Amino acid sequence: MRIGRKVISAIMVLALVIPAFSLMVGSGTVVKAGESIDVTSAEYGAVPGDGNDDTAAINKAISDCEKNGGGTVVLPAGTYNIDAAKDLLLGGGRGRGIICESGVDLEMTGATLKVSGNKYDSYQVISVRAVSNVNIHGGTIAGERKSHKGKSGEDGHGVCIWDSNNVKISGMTIKDNWGDGIYIGSQNDDYYKGCKGVTIENCTISNNRRNNISITRGSNITIDKCKIKKANGIAPQAGIDIEPNGVGGKIPKNRICKNITIKNTEITVKKKDNNHFAFVTISYAGNSKKVTSCQNVKIINCNLKGNVGNYTGKKVTIQNTKIAGTFYDMRNTKLKKTTYKGLWKW
């Protein structure tokens, strides 16, 4: 079949106007798959330091990037105001601020997310929910703990990772949140599978009201080269808390946290007492000896400046680590070149 010159010319013009693997987004911006989107560009309009809410602008950039097949959303240096209760679609008064999408990375080096005070018991400054292949690098989450307008609840999290795979958080400072600095788990333990493949690296996580890091459902989780400081306010007040949600005094096998490595990390507690733990593995239902909360946990080359507990974990190894407080129980724990100040047995 012969193609006329006019048809060939039209095809050539079309190829020049719309490059391969590109998408028209917003009011006409052309973005190639895998390229970066700057939230301060005219298309999105986030202005750091102006005091206005930047949540919608950032989420629009993330959504457009995901629709285009993924890439990087860049937050240049500066302070961005974030409303962590912007999206209440999760129900039960649970809000989401920045909403991550699959295949979209956030580059935030030099950026600070300043969280506006709210009244809600439960919120997520950065929500990583039911997605995969997400990297969040750099930046600071400055939580709203001091400006919080309510008195109850404990689930106001800095980064909340629910039912997601292949997530990496690196180079971040996460502080002053109403609940946890980072929460890893499931939106609904009865219907979803939790997280798989989460890495937290080179982060400083401090002064969060409940735990600095909570792991409630997940596997293949690595915490490396982090500084974790002084969780305080409401129990358990742990540097790292591995505590699956139970049912009727038991933890179902599919909820047991597995294959967790904590290495090259320093954890400091506010007080060296029974209520502040540098690292704690506990469980639902009064820490029953018949309950297994986690399996295959390795702690390597760490400095734990507080108490440590392993009540219900199995196959726990602590190696080349200094524990500056009391070790509470030592069931199913192997110590290699590790020191501690005292021992309490269950």
Complete domains list, the chain, with CATH:
76-344 (2.160.20)
Do residues 53 and 39 lie in contact, with contact meaning Cβ atoms separated by under 8 Å? Answer: no
Q: How far is CA 126 from CA 161, 178, 323, in A?
A: 9, 14, 32
Task: Name the token pair of 61.
Answer: 């950039």
Q: Specify the pLDDT at position 306.
A: 94
Which residue did the predictor score with more confidence, 342 or 166?
Answer: 166
Among 141, 121, 192, CA closest to 162: 192
For the record, the structure tokens of 207 come out as 């002064």
Q: Mean pLDDT throughout 1-29?
A: 39
Instruction: Name the more confident of 121 and 22.
Output: 121
- Give the mean pLDDT of 145-172: 96
| CB of 122 closer than 8 Å to CB of 91 | no
**Which pLDDT score, from 0 to 100, does residue 235 have?**
92
For the chain, the distance separating the N- and C-terminal CA atoms, rounded to the nearest angstrom, is 84
Tens of pLDDT, residues 18-37: 333 334 344 333 444 578 99
How far is it, in rounded angstroms, from Cα 245 to Cα 249?
10
Give the separation between CA 230 and CA 209, rounded to whole angstroms: 9
- Name the amino acid, one letter, at 202: N
| Inter-residue contact 321 to 340 (CB < 8 Å) | no
Taking alpha carbons only, the member of 311, 313, 185 closest to residue 245 is 185
Cβ count near 178 (within 10 Å): 31
156-170, 233-247, 280-294: range with lowest mean pLDDT: 280-294
- State the chain's mean pLDDT as an integer: 88
Task: Say if residue 285's pLDDT is above 70.
Answer: no
Separation CA 344–CA 327 (nearest Å): 6
Quote the pTM value.
0.89
| pLDDT tens-place string over residues 67-100 | 999 999 999 999 999 999 877 765 556 789 999 9
Q: Are 260 and 280 in contact (CB under 8 A)?
A: no
Least confident among 177-181, 225-229, 248-252, 302-306: 248-252
Residues contacting 146, CB < 8 A, separation 6+: 176
Mean pLDDT of 57-73: 97
Query: What does the angle CA 239 – CA 164 – CA 214 come to, to the nearest 5 degrees?
Result: 15
Amino acid sitting at position 62 = I
pLDDT for the residue numbered 33: 55
